[in-house]
Amino acid sequence: MAQRAKISDVAERAKVSVTTVSLVLNGRGEQIPKETQNRVFQAAAQLNYQPNELARSLKTNQSMTIGCITDHIVSGPHAGGVIMGAQELAWAQGRLLLVVNTEDDAELEQSALEMMKRRRVEGILYTTDSMHVIQVPAGLTDLPIILVNCYDPHSPIPAVIPDEFKGGETATQTLIDEGHRRIAFIDGTPPLEANIERLAGYRAALEASQVSVEQDLIPVVPWTPSGGYQATKYLMELTPPPTALLCVNDWVALGVYEALKELNLRIPDDVAVMGYDDQRLASLMMPGLTTMALPHYQMGLKAIEYLMEMSANPEKSKSIPYLTKIPCPVIRRESV
Amino acid sequence: MAQRAKISDVAERAKVSVTTVSLVLNGRGEQIPKETQNRVFQAAAQLNYQPNELARSLKTNQSMTIGCITDHIVSGPHAGGVIMGAQELAWAQGRLLLVVNTEDDAELEQSALEMMKRRRVEGILYTTDSMHVIQVPAGLTDLPIILVNCYDPHSPIPAVIPDEFKGGETATQTLIDEGHRRIAFIDGTPPLEANIERLAGYRAALEASQVSVEQDLIPVVPWTPSGGYQATKYLMELTPPPTALLCVNDWVALGVYEALKELNLRIPDDVAVMGYDDQRLASLMMPGLTTMALPHYQMGLKAIEYLMEMSANPEKSKSIPYLTKIPCPVIRRESV
DNA sequence: GTGAAAGCGCTAACAA
DNA sequence: TTGTTAGCGCTTTCAC
C-alpha cells in the first residue's frame, strides 16, 4: 500500500508546510516560486502520494460523487447506455458514479437512497429500464434528483425521457420520403406509454403529408415476434397490401421478417420494414433492420448536466423543465 | 437539506454526549440503558439524522466502497450481470460500487484507477466484455484486485472466468443425451480464447462417449449469422448430415436457423440446434434457442467474495487461486 | 512566499 | 453508565 503517504509526509520531504503542498498540488500555487513547486511535485511523486479524497470531501463538503439508481441494469442496453453517458460527463467534472441496481425491490431502493445520502452524493440519477410512469420513493426531495426514462406525475421532479412522439413521426416520415404511401403501423398491446406516443407520431406524420390514416393499417397485437408475425399475415392480405410496415418495436419486426419470408416477399424490395428501439438483434437480422434508437447515452448526459447545475446552484433547480424530451435518431440499415 | 444534522446535534437534543450517540446508533450500546437509547433514537429520527459516511470512513479508514472498472458496459449483458452480482454481495456487506466504464480508453482506465485509489476503495473488480487475455494497467498491485472474464498471463492477479471448456462439454453432452451421435460444431474465427475452449470441450465430450470426432463436422466460419448460414449449407450436404448443430455462439445460431428454414428442415425435429452465450435474442428466436449461459452474475459474486477476503486479510491474498472457473448453465428452450 | 492552526463530522481511548 | 478529547487527512484563514 504505497499510497499511504499523506500530505504531511510530502511536506516534510519537500521541506515545506502542508499548506504549500496543498496549494501547489491543487494548482493554486501561482505565488509560489517554481523552484519550491518542483520540490513539492518531486516529493509527491517519490512518495507516490495520492491525496485522500475522503478527507478532502469532508473538508470541502463536496463528495464529488453522484448516485445512480437503476431498476434493471442487465435486461437491455438501457441502463448501461444511461450510465455510460452519465459517467462520461460526470467524469469530465471530476465526479464518479455510485451505482445501485434494485431489481424493483422497493425496500432496497429506499435503503440505497439512504446510503447515498449518507455518502453525501451531490445528486441522484434515477433511471428505469422501460419508459413508464413511476412513483418516486419517499425522501427524494431533499437533494438534487433527475429521473431518466420515467416520470412521476405526482411529483415535480424533473425527468429526461425519449421523444417517442417525434420518434414515431420521424420513422413514418422516413418511410414517406422513400415514396411509401400505404404504411402500416403494427401497434403493441398492452399499451405502454411509449407505444401510444409512437402511434400518435405515426398519425401526425401521415396527416402532415396528407396521407389518410386507415384503421385497417393499424393492427394491435402483443408486442412480441409472434405478434408481428400474425399482424403481417393479416396485413399482407389487404387489398392493396401496405408497402411498408412500421413496427412498434424491434421484437415485433423479428416476427414480421419471419412472416414475410414465408410469403416470399423480399425486404425491402417488396415491402419495407422499420423497427423501434435499436435492440442488438436489429443489426443481426437479415437484412439489417432500419430502426429508431433510444437516446440512452444522451439522456444520461443531460441528466448529469442538470444535476450539476442543480447542485451548483439550488435556486436553479426551479428552472429545470419538468420534462425534457430527447430525440430518437434513425438507424439506417437495409430494411427500408 | 434536512440531513445536515450532525452527531453533536443529536447528542444535544438527546441530552447525552456524542459518544453515547455514536455507540447507540452503531449498535454498540449494550451497556447503555434502553431508556437513554430511546432518547437517542428519537432525537436522531426527529432530526432526520444521516451520519456522514465520509467522516466515518476517514476515521475508520474504511471507505466501504469497491471500484468496478468495465470496458464496455453497454454492448451486451455482460458487464451489467457482473455488476449486478458484485453489487448484491457488496451491498450485503454494506459496500457500494463505484463504477467506471472505459470504452477501452487506456488513459481513462489509468486515471480511473487513480481516482479510485484516492477514494480509498477497498478493492477493484476489473471486468471485460468478452473473455480474453489482457494486460493489466500499471499500479494495480498495491490494492486488492480481481479480474473478471479476462486474465493477464503476465501477472499473478487472480481472475474469475467462465468455464468454457466444461461448457462446451456440457452442451455436447446435452445433445448426446438426446440421442444425437452426428453432432457438428460450428467453430468461429478469428479464434477467441473462449471458442477454443468450447471446441475442446466438445471434443472431450464426444470422446468420453466413444463418438469419433470428425473434422468434417467442425467447419470454421466467421462467428456471425452469415457464418452460421454458410456452415449449415455446407454441413447439411454431407452424407449423412449431422442431426445436431452446436454453434460456437448464439449469433451463429441465428444464421443456422435461417439456412435450415431455407432447406425446409424443422428445428428440433429434423435437426437440433444449440447456441452459446444466451444472448437476449436466443429467447426470441423461433423456436427458442437452447444455449449455454455465461455466469455473469456468479462471477461478480465470486469476485466480491474474494475482494472482501483480501481486504479483510491481506495475507490471504496469496491463497486465492489464480484462475477460478465458474460453470456455464444450460438454458433449455425448444431447439433441442 | 510560507507556515500555524482551526476545523470538517466522526470514532474510540481514556477518564470520571 | 456517560463524557472529554484527540485525532483521521485535508483545506484555508490569517499571520508572519
Q: What is the DSSP string of B261-275?
A: HHTT--TTTT-EEE-
- A:29-58 Cβ neighbours of strand D under 7 Å: 51-52, 55-56, 58
| C-alpha pair distances (Å), A166 with each of A85, A173, A205, A330, B154 | 22, 10, 9, 11, 52
**Between chains, do A101 and B114 touch, taking CB under 8 Å as contact?**
no
Q: In the numeric block, which cell numbers belong to residue B156?
A: 499473478
Hey, is the C-beta of B45 within 8 angstroms of any chain A C-beta?
no
> Pairing between strand B124-133 and B145-151?
parallel
- Assigned domain for A150 exists: no
Hey, is the C-beta of A149 within 8 angstroms of any chain B C-beta?
no
The average confidence (pLDDT) of chain B is 93
CATH no. for residue A37? Answer: 1.10.260.40
**Between chains, do A57 and B54 touch, taking CB under 8 Å as contact?**
yes
Interface of B with A in 212-241 (CB under 8 A): 224-226
The per-residue pLDDT for range A90-126, each reduced to its tens digit, is: 999 999 999 999 999 999 999 999 999 999 999 999 9
Residue type, B33: P
CATH no. for residue B188? Answer: 3.40.50.2300
User: In angstroms, rounded to a whole number, what is the distance separating the alpha carbons of residues A37 and B10?
Assistant: 44
Structure confidence at residue A73 (pLDDT) = 87
- Assigned domain for B195 exists: yes
DSSP state, residue B137: P
- Assigned domain for B221 exists: yes
Helix (H, G, I), strand (E, B), or coil: what is residue B284? helix
Q: In sequence order, what are the residues at sequence separation of 6 or more whose Cβ sits closer than 8 angstroms to the Cβ of residue A287?
A: A267, A268, A333, A334, A335
- Assigned domain for A204 exists: yes
Q: In the numeric block, which cell numbers belong to residue A199?
A: 402511434
Which residues of chain B neighbour A228 with C-beta distances below 8 Å? none
**Between chains, do B52 and A117 touch, taking CB under 8 Å as contact?**
no
Query: Between the CA of B1 and the C1' of C4, what is the distance in angstroms?
Result: 34
Using the structure block, give the residue that is written with the C-alpha cell 477476503. B309
Hey, is the C-beta of A114 within 8 angstroms of any chain B C-beta?
yes
Structure confidence at residue A3 (pLDDT) = 52
| C-alpha pair distances (Å), B247 with each of A172, A248, B27, B228, B287 | 38, 31, 55, 8, 15
Which band of pLDDT confidence, cut at 50, 70 and 90, is reported for residue B318? confident
Q: In sequence order, what are the residues at sequence separation of 6 or more whose Cβ sits closer than 8 angstroms to the Cβ of residue B265?
A: B236, B271
Domain encompassing residue A261: 164-292
Which band of pLDDT confidence, cut at 50, 70 and 90, is reported for residue B123? very high
Share of chain B above pLDDT 70, in %: 99
B141 pLDDT higher than 90? no
A110 with A79: CB under 8 angstroms? Answer: no
- Cα nearest neighbour of B142 on chain A: A1
Nearest to A231 by CA among A219, A239, A215, A216: A219
Structure confidence at residue A28 (pLDDT) = 87
Chain C bases near protein Cβ (<7 Å): 1-5, 7-14
Which band of pLDDT confidence, cut at 50, 70 and 90, is reported for residue A1? very low
The per-residue pLDDT for range A308-322, each reduced to its tens digit, is: 999 998 888 889 999
- Assigned domain for B75 exists: no
Q: In sequence order, what are the residues at sequence separation of 6 or more whose Cβ sits closer than 8 angstroms to the Cβ of residue B126?
A: B69, B136, B140, B145, B146, B147, B148, B150
User: In angstroms, rounded to a whole number, what is the distance separating the alpha carbons of residues A174 and A154?
Assistant: 36
Please say which residue of A271, A292, A313 terminates a domain: A292
- Assigned domain for A284 exists: yes
User: In angstroms, rounded to a whole number, what is the distance separating the alpha carbons of residues A11 and A280?
Assistant: 54
Structure confidence at residue B2 (pLDDT) = 44
Using the structure block, give the residue that is written with the C-alpha cell 453515547. B20
User: Nearest nt to A11, CA vs C1'?
Assistant: C3
Which residues of chain A neighbour B57 with C-beta distances below 8 Å? 54
Judge if the upstream peptide bond of residue B219 is cis by omega within 30 degrees of 0: no
How many angstroms away from the CA of A233 is the closest CA of chain B?
16
Structure confidence at residue B31 (pLDDT) = 84
| Cα torsion A181, A187, B74, A78: sign | positive
A273 with A260: CB under 8 angstroms? Answer: yes
- Cα nearest neighbour of B55 on chain A: A58
| C-alpha pair distances (Å), B220 with each of A240, B195, B234 | 45, 11, 11
**Between chains, do A258 and B286 touch, taking CB under 8 Å as contact?**
yes
Structure confidence at residue B28 (pLDDT) = 85
B129 with B279: CB under 8 angstroms? Answer: no
- Assigned domain for B43 exists: yes
- Assigned domain for B310 exists: no
Which stretches of chain A are assigned E, i.e. beta strand? 65-70, 96-101, 124-133, 145-151, 159-162, 183-189, 220-222, 244-247, 272-274, 291-292, 323-326, 330-331
**Between chains, do B58 and A54 touch, taking CB under 8 Å as contact?**
yes
Who has greater pLDDT, B26 or B206? B206
User: In angstroms, rounded to a whole number, what is the distance separating the alpha carbons of residues B289 and A165?
Assistant: 34
**Between chains, do B254 and A52 touch, taking CB under 8 Å as contact?**
no
User: Nearest nt to A23, CA vs C1'?
Assistant: D11
Alpha helices in chain B (DSSP H): 7-14, 18-25, 34-46, 53-60, 78-92, 106-118, 164-177, 193-208, 225-235, 250-262, 281-284, 296-312
Hey, is the C-beta of A1 within 8 angstroms of any chain B C-beta?
yes
B90 pLDDT higher than 50? yes
Q: In the numeric block, which cell numbers belong to residue A311?
A: 447542485
Query: Between the CA of A46 and the C1' of D12, what is the distance in angstroms?
Result: 26
The per-residue pLDDT for range B204-254, each reduced to its tens digit, is: 999 999 999 999 999 999 999 999 999 999 999 999 999 999 999 999 999
Q: Which of A76-85, B181-190, B191-200 has the least mean pLDDT?
A: A76-85
Number of domains in chain B: 2
- Cα nearest neighbour of B140 on chain A: A1
A127 with A301: CB under 8 angstroms? Answer: no
Which residues of chain B neighbour A254 with C-beta distances below 8 Å? 284
pLDDT, mean of residues A37-50: 92
The average confidence (pLDDT) of chain A is 93
Hey, is the C-beta of B1 within 8 angstroms of any chain A C-beta?
yes
Which residues of chain B neighbour A101 with C-beta distances below 8 Å? 80, 83-84, 87
Who among A2, A63, A83 is closest to B142 (CB)?
A2
Which band of pLDDT confidence, cut at 50, 70 and 90, is reported for residue B282? very high
Which band of pLDDT confidence, cut at 50, 70 and 90, is reported for residue A196? very high
